Amino acid sequence: MFDLITLNGSTKTVDQDALDALDASLRGSVFLPGSPEYDEARTTWNSIVDRKPGFVIRALGASDVQKAVNFVREAGLIMSVRSGGHQIAGHAVADDAVMLDLSQMKSVHVDPKARTARVAPGAVLGDVDRETQAHGLVVPTGINSTTGIAGLTLGGGFGWTTRKFGMTIDNLISAEVVLADGSIVTASENSHPDLFWAIRGGGGNFGVVTSFEFRLHPLGPQVLSGLVVHPIEQGPALLPEYARIADTAPDELTVWTVMRKAPPLPFLPEDWHGREVLIFAACYAGPIENGEAAMEPLRALGDPIVDVISPHAFVDWQAAFDPLLTPGARNYWKSHDFDALPTDAIAGLLDSISTLPDPSCEVFIAHVGGAMARVEAAATAYPQRSAHFIMNVHTRWEDPAKDDTCIAWARALYDRMTPHATGSAYVNFMPADEATALSSAYGANAAQLSRIKGRYDPGNLFRVNHNIPPA
């Protein structure tokens, strides 16, 4: 007998016979508390999330997802959905709810002639990159190979190739979706176009995506990429120059800034390990010889400690930051968008870096635009299409005793930077305590998202997320 939370906030008992019958109907399995599979499923990338679902349904295909949705809806239960388990808010798992685990649905099928890929929701970015790069093709994704493709896509998706090829959602052709009523539909420009619009940035509010079809682009197998590392003291002079270079760069060139204590990287002199540094991370999504010329202004800045920009295999560059983002640490993020980086904003950032609460904490500034900015704000649910800078205050630590200190530092920096920000936000960077800030994520698209939510999920079955209330 298992007591679970219901959609109306009460408690309902689910007996073993019902779970046995559900388990027998699945290609996958039902896992109960105490089993290794249960603990594996509920453990996510962010260890600050330690929640215990009532039981886990591990799906192996769309039919399993359909059975799970029908079971949960008919019983009136709460359900969370896990794909990659990488979301900062930890919405993949909820206490005393049913957890639908898609992590074993990892297939990636590439059609090199059509330049498309069909990707299952449990795949992570490394799975996608390896399969597409086998054919010299890419789909624009994020910068950490262990990120799940499903969460990244449903929230928008941006990374090293976004300026050249658009966001992840801009390259989504279609998606197979299990709706709240248990039906399985294909969302595309020609089939359920309102649903297709909504899932491109609206998160998991509208159904469970069981397959993504992406458009691919030629790139690789090598790209010009790497790091230029400077002392943080050069920040006041270098960051305005970085902003100027970013705003005038060709679409192929993407440069991000990272401010943190230097990790013990083998190419850094040992006496710099643990000292605050300013890092320019760059990637050129085009011919390497063209990239050499495009990166000249960046590489000419200041007096760097090291410059390790060179040709790298694209799959390796996509995983270059993985060692700094391994699972098991405690994480808390705060994020802002900026149209520009004025002097006061730069001063605030650099002052905060001098008080980092843990050596693993960092602040990065991503510059986006190019192809992404040539899409109308109303074309997809994700609305922030102008060329802009995205700040992520990435607070990361190991010791639970540091929770309050690290979280307070992130919030203080966020508040300090608010006067310089646009007021918009990227939903994939929003922690769980920003549930009331969805208007900043969706802007003028919020009302339409609520209407579509009311059409496809009027009972708000899919609510364990950055939830959009149904109109």
Which CATH number fits the domain that encloses residue 117?
3.30.465.10
| 412 lies in the same domain as 329 | yes
Q: Cα–Cα distance between 385 and 376 in angstroms, integer?
A: 7
**Cβ neighbours, 10 Å, residue 151:** 27
In this structure, what token pair is assigned to residue 303?
């007096």
Question: Is 380 among the domain residues?
Answer: yes
Maximum CA extent, the chain:
69
Question: Is 468 among the domain residues?
Answer: no
| 302 lies in the same domain as 382 | yes
Query: Is the CB of residue 48 less than 8 Å from the CB of residue 331?
Result: yes
79: CB partners within 8 A, 6+ apart: 68, 69, 72, 97, 98, 99, 100, 461, 462, 464
| 205 lies in the same domain as 226 | no
Question: Is 63 among the domain residues?
Answer: yes
Phi-psi group of 334: left, alpha or beta (phi > 0 → left; psi -120 to 50 → alpha; rest → beta): beta
Q: Which residues of 44-60 are buried (b: 16+ CB within 10 A; e: fewer)?
A: bbbebbebebbbbbbbb
| 74 lies in the same domain as 188 | no
Question: Is 460 among the domain residues?
Answer: no
Coil, strand or helix at 452: helix
Q: Which of 48, 79, 101 is the last residue of a domain?
A: 101
Question: What pLDDT is recorded for position 438?
Answer: 77
Give the domain extent around 141.
108-218
Residue with tokens 């390796």: 316
User: pLDDT tens per residue, the chain (471 residues)?
Assistant: 778 999 999 999 999 999 999 999 999 999 999 999 999 999 999 999 999 999 999 999 999 999 999 999 999 999 999 999 999 999 999 999 999 999 999 999 999 999 999 999 999 999 999 999 999 999 999 999 999 999 999 999 999 999 999 999 999 999 999 999 999 999 999 999 999 999 999 999 999 999 999 999 999 999 999 999 999 999 999 999 999 999 999 999 999 999 999 999 999 999 999 999 999 999 999 999 999 999 999 999 999 999 999 999 999 999 999 998 999 999 999 999 999 999 999 999 999 999 999 999 999 999 999 999 999 999 999 999 998 999 999 999 999 999 999 999 999 999 999 999 999 989 999 998 876 667 788 999 999 999 999 999 999 999 999 999 999
Question: Is 168 among the domain residues?
Answer: yes
Question: Is 394 among the domain residues?
Answer: yes
| 226 lies in the same domain as 211 | no
Q: Which of 185, 218, 251 is the last residue of a domain?
A: 218
Query: Is the CB of residue 3 less than 8 Å from the CB of residue 53?
Result: no
Question: What pLDDT is recorded for position 387?
Answer: 86
Q: Which of 75, 101, 127 is the last residue of a domain?
A: 101
| 82 lies in the same domain as 153 | no
Question: Is 469 among the domain residues?
Answer: no
| CB burial of residue 354 (10 Å; 0-12, 13-18, 19+) | exposed
Question: What pLDDT is recorded for position 164?
Answer: 98
Nearest alpha carbon to residue 282 among 329, 328, 236, 224? 224
Please name every residue paired with 260 in a beta bridge, in sequence order, or none if there are none.
Answer: 277, 362
| 325 lies in the same domain as 337 | yes
Question: What pLDDT is recorded for position 424?
Answer: 92
Question: Is 453 among the domain residues?
Answer: no
Please give the sequence-ordered ranges of beta strands (E in DSSP) within 120-220, or none if there are none: 137-138, 172-178, 184-188, 208-215, 217-218
| 71 lies in the same domain as 144 | no
What's the total number of domains in the chain? Answer: 3
Question: What pLDDT is recorded for position 435?
Answer: 62
| 366 lies in the same domain as 351 | yes
| 192 lies in the same domain as 322 | no
CATH at 408: 3.40.462.20
| 139 lies in the same domain as 49 | no
SS3 content of the chain, % helix, strand, coil (to 5): 35, 25, 40
Q: Cα–Cα distance between 38 and 55 in angstroms, integer?
A: 7
| CB burial of residue 419 (10 Å; 0-12, 13-18, 19+) | exposed
| 206 lies in the same domain as 228 | no
Question: What pLDDT is recorded for position 436?
Answer: 62
| CB burial of residue 239 (10 Å; 0-12, 13-18, 19+) | buried
Please give the radius of gyration of the chain, using alpha carbons only, rounded to the nearest integer.
Answer: 22
CATH at 29: 3.30.43.10
